[in-house]
Amino acid sequence: MAQALRHDAMRAGNLAVVLGALDRDGPLTRAALAEATGLTKTTVSKLVADLIDAGMAVESGAVRDGERGRPGVAVHLSGHRVAALGLEINVDYLAGCVVDLSRTARLFRTQAVDNRAASPEDVIAGLRDLAISMLADAAGHGLSVAGGIVALPGPVDRSTGTVHSAPNLGWRDVPVADALALPLPVLVDNEANLAALGELWFGSGAALGDFLHVSGEIGIGAGLVVDGALFRGAHGYAGELGHVVVSPDGPACRCGGTGCLERYAGQDALLPAGEDLAGLVARLRAGDPSAVAACERAGSALGIALTTAVNLLDPDTIVLGGIFAPLFPWVSGPAEATMHRRLGQIRARVPALVVSQVGADAAPLGGAGQVIQRIIADPGAHLLAPQP
């Protein structure tokens, strides 16, 4: 239910309105902020002063726009103080990044390890070491890290910070957030969801409108971004594109069904035993007919599943990430052809397929960005004591 509004909520809300305007529309003078938000110049000045005290905004020089009249002082988001930590546990690596309030990635770290061979405790201890050292680095840069999110390859319970099952890691019900025991609030989320947010803030972003981000890995997940926020469904398990039915009489899937998308376009279906992704791409570049045919099959199946997704979710754009990013030139054509054949008559516009602009770090970047997003949406709760 909507919360009761008291004076402090009004102030917190207006602080968020101003910070949000700075985030969206770049550097703005106080006068421009007043015009954009509908608040008076007086109020904006007071709010901006608070944001500057908290280290969330800074003044840059005067704006000489050639107009006559006194020039304004541009104010923009400050990346000097507030930051967030994004972490990822995946099958063969750990990764982390620190992103500042202006959504600039400040630190990166990746560590190749075989997490299938190790126990969850050891993996989490390794991630903890990586996180602690990044926090120290961040502190060295004067950054105060307000929170973190761990990206995990499987369905999670966000309220308890637990990963329910991560089949590719062999994990079940691991309380990742608690076990990490970092000295800051830590959340968990699904890798596919966070990768979608990574694309929003560190990739093609707002130009995509509402988009569906497809993460091709061993499984196939998808994250739908609507109005700048994830659509999660009732229990947080929306976007399971991998088990959308492509052909009800198709081959059996590990989920118990038959003919799921994963059996046609998942990593195991695309890569012959023993070959890795780089090998497949090399064969595709060389024009190997069997590799091209495999991608065509996968692309057509993907087109069927995406047709269904468009009918149900109605996105503006569809972004292909994960293994589909390097395979995009060979997969997107057949998928797009299928979609146009099936949707062309009933939709005014068939969503375009585009390739992800973020690399392997999409998930931790999206996680850190999500924390930043929360801070911008409620700066009042994160007003730090002004530093000397």
Partner DNA sequence: CGAATTAGTCTATGTTGTGGACTAAATATC
Partner DNA sequence: GATATTTAGTCCACAACATAGACTAATTCG
Query: How many Cβ atoms are within 10 Å of 265's Cβ, its own excluded?
Result: 31
Contact flag: residue 133 with a second copy (CB under 8 A): no
In this chain, which stretch among 1-9, 128-136, 157-165, 315-323 interacts with DNA, using CB under 7 A? 1-9
Binding partner of 16, given a second copy, DNA, none, CB within 5-8 angstroms per partner class: a second copy
**Residue 98 touches a second copy, criterion: CB under 8 A:** no
User: What is the C-alpha separation between 119 and 328, in angstroms, rounded?
Assistant: 35
> How many other CB atoms are found less than 10 A from the CB of residue 221?
24
Q: x/- string (CB under 7 A) for DNA, residues 34-53?
A: ----xxxxxx-xxx------
Closest to a second copy by CB, 11 vs 106, is 11
Among 21, 36, 53, 71, binds DNA (CB under 7 A): 71
In the complex with a second copy, the residue whose CB is nearer, 183 or 256, is 256
Quote the DSSP letter at residue 258. Answer: B
x/- track of binding to a second copy for residues 170-209 (CB under 8 A): ---------------------------------------x
Does position 81 bind a second copy by CB under 8 A?
A: no
Helix (H) or strand (E) holding 349: none
Count the neighbouring beta carbons within 10 Å of the beta carbon of residue 287.
8
Residue 122 gets which letter from DSSP?
H
Which does residue 345 bind out of DNA, a second copy, none, counting CB within 5 to 8 angstroms by kind? a second copy
Strands (E) in the chain, as ranges, are 28-29, 57-62, 73-77, 82-89, 93-100, 105-112, 144-152, 156-157, 162-166, 171-174, 186-190, 211-216, 220-226, 229-231, 317-322, 352-355
> b or e along 311-344 (b: 16 or more beta carbons within 10 Å of the residue's beta carbon)?
eebebebbbbbbbbbbbbebbbbbbbebbeebbe
**What tokens were used for 10?**
């009004």
Q: For residues 240-279, which are near a second copy according to CB under 8 A?
A: 240-241, 243-249, 255-258
Q: Confirm or reject binding of residue 70 to DNA (CB under 7 A).
A: yes
Which residues are near a second copy by CB under 8 A? 1-7, 9-10, 13-14, 16-17, 20-21, 24, 37-39, 164, 209-210, 222, 226, 231-241, 243-249, 255-258, 304, 307-309, 311-316, 341-349
Which residues are near DNA by CB under 7 A? 4-8, 10-11, 14, 29-32, 38-43, 45-47, 62, 64, 66-73
